[in-house]
Structure 1
Amino acid sequence: MNEMMWGGLLSAASTGAGAVPVLLFRRLSHRLMDILLALTAGIMVAASVYGLMPYALKLSNLFVLCAGVLLGALTLSVLEGVLPHADVRFLEGAGGLDPKSLLLIAAMSLHNLPEGLSIGIGYASRIDDLGNVVALSIGLQNAPEGLLIALFLANQGVRPGIAIAVSLTTGAIEWLATLLGYRLTSSIESVLPYGLAFAAGAMLFIVYKELIPETHGHGHERAATFSFIVGLLIMVSLLVWFG
């Protein structure tokens, strides 16, 4: 329980940690952002394919795995349909901090909900260090997300300290979702394999729908591709070492 609380908390707090560079600069080159996003994409793919999915299959069967993965992807797809989306291009071209901008920040907070559930499910499985692996992979993805939020706010005239605080706040819902995912899965153990597969599907959706397209629109596709491969190898190595 304590390990889950700290793992979820650190993963959520990485949103605020990722925003700290806003104290030093207001803009980030497309090349560096593409490399960072591709690195986290590789990490999340490895965590899903080599961590979550094999354990879901081991605890159940192919039908449960497929159903859970599709449900996770469908859930994220529905969220994408009903919530506004913020990317690098929008953040650079935004005007004032109007209600639409506030809605976008709220939307990014809500996008952390399935991520938090994934962390909680990972810890509830009590399988080796699966919870730590999921928390690490999502935490690494949260850092550039927090930086985007902070850069957006700073460019609207918000003081850097407040921008960092807002970024940290958007990650708070992830920690609450971690607690919820842990409680629900621990109470209903039959849900565990579905939960693991759901987490994998949600993470794969984020990678393919959000991260990879964002890294291939600024002319740095080759650097992003190698960064993706490095990220994947890093997470596979961690999975082998934690074994």
Structure 2
Amino acid sequence: MLSSVILFSLLSGITVFLGGLFALFFEKSFKKGFLKEEIIHFFIAFGTGIMLSAISFVLVPHGLEKIDVLVAILLILLGGVIFYILDSYIQKKAGNISQIMAMLLDFIPESIALGALFAYDYKVGMVLALFIGLQNFPESFNSFIELRFSGFKIKSSLIILFLLSFIGVIFSLFGYYFLSKSPFITSALMLFASGGILYLIFQDIAPSLRYKNNRLIAIGVNIGFIVGIYGNSFT
């Protein structure tokens, strides 16, 4: 079981680095212009769809299995409030790495839940790993672009993303060793993360989807959500 936790947390985390590599290819292949901006916005939309599917099919449904509805509501609200406070702090202090910090805000609690889930629901753990990996890819894509725009060199940007790829393993192991026998806490964490992710989606991500009155980009949300539906079909 421990080997599965390490393997799947690695697979879900390595997409942080792969997203950066793809962004590097994208940077070299596309010149500045309308098409490049549209693709970037589409990736933002796709990531939003994946995040929504993670909330809809894994985090909230499985979180509600062990927790009363009223407590769940409070946890989701608490997640939104805490993420609001952290997001405000990041915007003021992190500056040129705010996108990376925002990515870690949902990556860390999801990884903790991932490690805990594997102990008593292997299939759901695998699906959550899939969602985390798919979610990290477009987020790290945008993080690499943000780092480059902020003056970081290619090598430095890739090193940062490569190191962050292993954050998931660390926190998944934490969840496995300390929360695997506490399904209530794991469920609470998933609901808390859901509230935080919802806040991030509609505060930071959704407002940026609209680009020069091109409504087609928002279809990326649908595509991301459909991918989530397909992933959930394996449970």
> Which residue in the other structure is 1:4 paired with?
5
| Equivalent residue in structure 2 for 1:183, among 177, 185, 188 | 177
Residues 73 and 204 in structure 1, CA contact (< 8 A), matched pair in contact too:
yes
Residues 91 and 98 in structure 2, CA contact (< 8 A), matched pair in contact too:
no
After superposing on structure 2, the runs of 4+ consecutive aligned residues of structure 1 that deviate more than 6 Å are none
Residues 115 and 176 in structure 2, CA contact (< 8 A), matched pair in contact too:
yes
Residues 72 and 201 in structure 1, CA contact (< 8 A), matched pair in contact too:
yes
> Which residue in the other structure is 1:135 paired with?
129
Are residues 1:78 and 2:79 paired? no
Query: 2: distance between equivalents of 1:68 and 1:137?
Result: 21
Shift of 1:13: 1.9
Residues 1-243 of structure 1: matches in 2 within 5 Å? 1-21=2-22, 22-23=24-25, 25-26=27-28, 29-84=36-91, 104-105=96-97, 108-109=100-101, 111-125=103-117, 126-155=120-149, 158-220=152-214, 222-240=215-233, 242-243=234-235
> Which residue in the other structure is 1:89 paired with?
none
Shift of 1:109: 4.0
Partner SS state of residue 126, structure 2: helix
Partner SS state of residue 48, structure 1: helix
* Matched pairs, number: 226
Alpha-carbon spacing, 1:157–1:66, altered in 2? closer, same or farther (3 Å): closer
Query: 2: distance between equivalents of 1:182 and 1:70?
Result: 26
Q: What is the RMSD of the two structures over their aligned residues, measured on CA atoms?
A: 2.8
Shift of 1:229: 1.2
Q: Sequence identity of aligned pairs in percent?
A: 21
Residues 117 and 181 in structure 1, CA contact (< 8 A), matched pair in contact too:
no
Q: Which amino acid aligns with 1:14?
A: T
Higher mean Cα deviation, 52-61 or 162-171? Answer: 162-171
Query: 2: distance between equivalents of 1:205 and 1:172?
Result: 25
Q: Structure 1: where are the runs of 5+ without partners?
A: 86-99
Alpha-carbon spacing, 1:184–1:154, altered in 2? closer, same or farther (3 Å): same
Query: 1: distance between equivalents of 2:176 and 2:63?
Result: 16
Shift of 1:20: 1.0
Residues 59 and 191 in structure 2, CA contact (< 8 A), matched pair in contact too:
yes
Partner SS state of residue 224, structure 2: helix
Query: 2: distance between equivalents of 1:122 and 1:174?
Result: 9
TM-score, normalised by the number of residues in structure 2: 0.81
Query: 2: distance between equivalents of 1:183 and 1:210?
Result: 33
Alpha-carbon spacing, 1:107–1:164, altered in 2? closer, same or farther (3 Å): same
Q: Structure 2: where are the runs of 5+ without partners?
A: none
Query: 2: distance between equivalents of 1:56 and 1:120?
Result: 14
Partner SS state of residue 58, structure 1: coil
Alpha-carbon spacing, 1:38–1:168, altered in 2? closer, same or farther (3 Å): same
Alpha-carbon spacing, 1:199–1:183, altered in 2? closer, same or farther (3 Å): farther
